[in-house]
Structure 1
Amino acid sequence: MDEQKARELTDRFRQVLSTKRMNELSSRSRSASPAPFNAALPPTNAPPPSYSSSIRNIPLVPRPPSDARSMRFKNMLLSLSNMPVKWENPGLLDEALRVIPLDQIYGEAEEESQIFKAEAESLGAGKKPAWGYQDCVIRALLRWFKRSFFTWVNNPACHTCGSPTIAVGLAAVLPDEQARGASQVELYRCSLDQCGTYERFPRYNDAFVLLQTRKGRVGEWANCFSMLCRAMGSRVRWVWNSEDHVWTEVYSSHRRRWVHVDACEESWDKPRLYTEGWGKKLAYCIAFSADGAMDVTRRYVRTARFAAERKRAHESELLYIMNEIRASRRSKLTKNDKFRLEGEDMAEDRELRRYVAQQVAYEICKLNPEDILRGGSGSARPDPEAQKAAEGRQNGSAEWIRSRSESGRRFQNGPHDQPPRR
């Protein structure tokens, strides 16, 4: 682009912004009801005028939930925030270490770590490896968990004849199942009429029980795998999604950020998998850890095309709930630990805001200058970051979604604002 064309484009851009501002001011003045010129002045005790319609992008001020809907949302999030606390049990973590093949995990991690170091050295002196050693440990754990340890279950096979079963509904929870942490039991019937055996499939929430059953769906996978990551010494989060999915985040000290991990997909650091990959729209993605909570939706939803409406609570109320959970979880921490966590929160908030700025810049870069000068729309250019998410696109097929029940819950048990039982 030559200098003259760039100057013309700049002038055109300024003119568009100026015209837009004038139109907004004109429409605002027309919508208001002007007082007569000789009208009396308002009393001195009258409230000041409201500028909420004209002020934009100011920081949110946390406010407590005020209506029944936001209170239900708050209670649900408070309940979900208890999940990572259960993984801090030393006895549970010791039992997990006895299950994990440590020699295999550490051997694979050491080999992969050396590969990353060699790749960094080949790029020049002082280059940092893509991932650190502890990251490679979790990556090795992810492969072992997916390929050798845990089993996906849709319809359990008949224990009598081994035939497929058909979902019937929900069954009452037996005392021994309830004692092991099952809050719901799915009932299935053998597809062979001459057999007719019924199969019970308890949905366990206890990670200790899952170490023994080693089967389930998304909820069980994320629960057990996150606990195993904690046993291996990593800081973990349990990410709840309002569209009925859950996954894990692991803190990378090497990268100094939280990394997306999905044990069901053996997916590492692919936060756009669910949107660009599966084509799903997401409203809320809330990450819970033993020391707080964070609304991380912006990490997984980068464009408005994949953003579902957020209407369970006002944004300021959600911010209040997040702050309340953090304060509760950190009340007994030392001053230094609180200061460190607050620094991480601010760094993560900058990261999430950067995603928004990057997307705005990307949308601008897609525009063609010639089209702008002609008054038309810009031609689209391919997004280089979308290729990473597209690696999981095959998992978004209709057949796969039906087999995994990704389109919704298999059974309904109570109101929609319940923890996912997938």
Structure 2
Amino acid sequence: MAERLSIRSRVPQNPLDEVKCQQLTDQFRQILSTKRMNSLSTGISISRSGSRSSRERDYGSPLPLPLSSAGNDLPAYNSLRNIPLIPKAPQDARSIRFRSMLHTLANMPCKWENPGLLDEALRVVPLERIYNEAQEECDVLNAEAASLGPNKKAAWGYQDCVIRALMRWFKSSFFSWVNNPPCSTCGTPTIGVGMAAPTPDEQARGATQVELYKCSFEGCGQYERFPRYNDAFVLLETRKGRVGEWANCFGMLCRAMGTRVRWIWNSEDHVWLEIYSLHRRKWVSVDVCEQAWDKPKLYTEGWQRKLAYCIGFSADGAMDVTRRYVRNFSRWGADRSRTPEPVLLYILDEIRATKRRDMSKQDKFRLEGEEMREYRELQGYVASAIAAEVCKSLPDSFFKGQSGHNRSPRPDPDAQKAAEARQNSAQADVDRTRIRGPNGARGAPNPQHPQNPPPPPPR
């Protein structure tokens, strides 16, 4: 009793209320933030006054040791690790070639911005069919959202449903896949024999290279040419090709339907698209060849491929979206050695500045806000992947002690309850049989029944 009284006497009679606690917490955070900012600014000034500036320092090499002076404890360079990368102009020949290639690729979506040609593209699209299918799907999605609650939002909007209906029509009825073109004379399959130079007519229509095939029938021997056109409006006439032609033509039709489109270049020889969803306020991956809508893990976890660069180009910008498709870079990421990361940032900033040179300040501000929101989205993918890996590694490290011996795993409460329920049910069946007998009638148990053991002999 005396111990309880002594313990109660130690507890303060007038504890701090929540307001004072919050004030003390805010003061502590402000002091800690000010101290960190002062340390960071001091470290930046030291790095700028050193032999090499932060822009000139090679990001691949380790940081130099901190300077020291008598009587002053200067902050270490560890405080500078969280500083964002500074864009750096390309210096070596490999980075310059990579820069030239990205600038060339950035012109692809700009070819879809001719208003007159987009009107011509709409003439080949069955608009009534597309809009009716989109409206039906949109009504179904709205009904599903309404069934979940009054404030629930549909998964996709009407414009998203329009692109989904357009993708289904494009693959099933409009465009065809070509590996080896059949012989135009006898219809026999052909065999590839190499490349050929484009004719003046093919070159005028945008063909940069021509594949040459020979008929496999010995009595024919006819050669077939397969020009690889880059002009989306020429593809409206040919309506055949492979991944590049499919993405090129479908991206132009999406622009004709009034949707913002990105053309995604992948360093592992693949291309696809991204559609900006106004309903979700995000970019959505679209692969028309696979008829895949919003499946960014298709190429890594589905195709078991490792990706290095996935860069999206649109008419108003460029963005490195590799983190959207490579969630676990240690497993699915390839070597990004074509150029240093600061140089890649510099190239993408350069492409954005070129595309937005004639834009108004309001449009530039809107695009910068979208990029900040997308950057947070990509950061969330990285954080989710790290958290998933940590959760996968926790059980082994938790069940193994410091001595290395395995501990018995914690029992599953659901399994315990199921086992107890089965045991109670079996015991109830045995009791019911003993009370009612084998035929369900009340009375003493029948000793001749095989489920009832014989009574013990008298002593």
Instruction: Please tell me the TM-score bracket, short chain as reference.
Output: 0.7 to 0.9
Compared with structure 1, are the counterparts of its residues 370 and 179 closer, same or farther at alpha carbon in structure 2 (3 Å cutoff)? closer
Which residue in 1 is equivalent to 2:210? 185
1:238 aligned partner, one-letter code? W
1:198 aligned partner, one-letter code? Y
CA distance in 1, matches of 2:115, 2:196: 34
Q: CA deviation at 1:46?
A: 6.8
Which residue in 2 is equivalent to 1:50? 64
* Cα RMSD (Å): 1.8
Q: CA deviation at 1:363?
A: 1.0
- In the alignment of these two chains, the number of paired residues is 334
1:308 aligned partner, one-letter code? A
CA distance in 2, matches of 1:84, 1:145: 19
Q: CA deviation at 1:88?
A: 0.2
Compared with structure 1, are the counterparts of its residues 173 and 50 closer, same or farther at alpha carbon in structure 2 (3 Å cutoff)? same
Q: Compute the TM-score of the two structures, normalised by the length of structure 1.
A: 0.77
Q: Where does 1:5-404 land on structure 2 (aligned, <5 Å)?
A: 47=51, 50=64, 54=78, 55-303=80-328, 304-369=330-395, 371-372=397-398, 374-375=400-401
- SS of corresponding position for 1:167: strand
Unaligned ranges ≥5, structure 2:
1-48, 53-62, 67-76, 408-459
Q: CA deviation at 1:230?
A: 0.4
Q: CA deviation at 1:374?
A: 1.5
CA distance in 2, matches of 1:253, 1:318: 28
- SS of corresponding position for 2:221: coil
Identity of aligned residues (%): 68
Larger Rg: 2
CA distance in 2, matches of 1:317, 1:327: 15
Post-superposition Cα deviations, 1:316-340, rounded to whole Å, max 9, x if no partner, equal 0000001000011011011100000
1:265 aligned partner, one-letter code? E
CA distance in 2, matches of 1:168, 1:316: 42
Q: CA deviation at 1:58?
A: 2.6
Compared with structure 1, are the counterparts of its residues 181 and 295 closer, same or farther at alpha carbon in structure 2 (3 Å cutoff)? same
CA distance in 2, matches of 1:192, 1:80: 40
Greater RCO (CA < 8 Å, at least 6 residues apart):
1
Post-superposition Cα deviations, 1:187-244, rounded to whole Å, max 9, x if no partner, equal 0000001000000000000001000000000000000000100000000000000000
Task: State the 4+ residue runs in structure 1 displaced beyond 6 angstroms.
Answer: none
Which residue in 2 is equivalent to 1:41? none
CA distance in 1, matches of 2:183, 2:359: 50
Which residue in 1 is equivalent to 2:417? none
Which residue in 2 is equivalent to 1:381? none
Compared with structure 1, are the counterparts of its residues 369 and 190 closer, same or farther at alpha carbon in structure 2 (3 Å cutoff)? closer
Q: CA deviation at 1:364?
A: 1.4
CA distance in 2, matches of 1:267, 1:190: 34
Q: Compute the TM-score of the two structures, normalised by the length of structure 2.
A: 0.71
2:378 aligned partner, one-letter code? L
Post-superposition Cα deviations, 1:395-421, rounded to whole Å, max 9, x if no partner, equal xxxxxxxxxxxxxxxxxxxxxxxxxxx
Unaligned ranges ≥5, structure 1:
1-44, 379-422
CA distance in 2, matches of 1:51, 1:344: 39
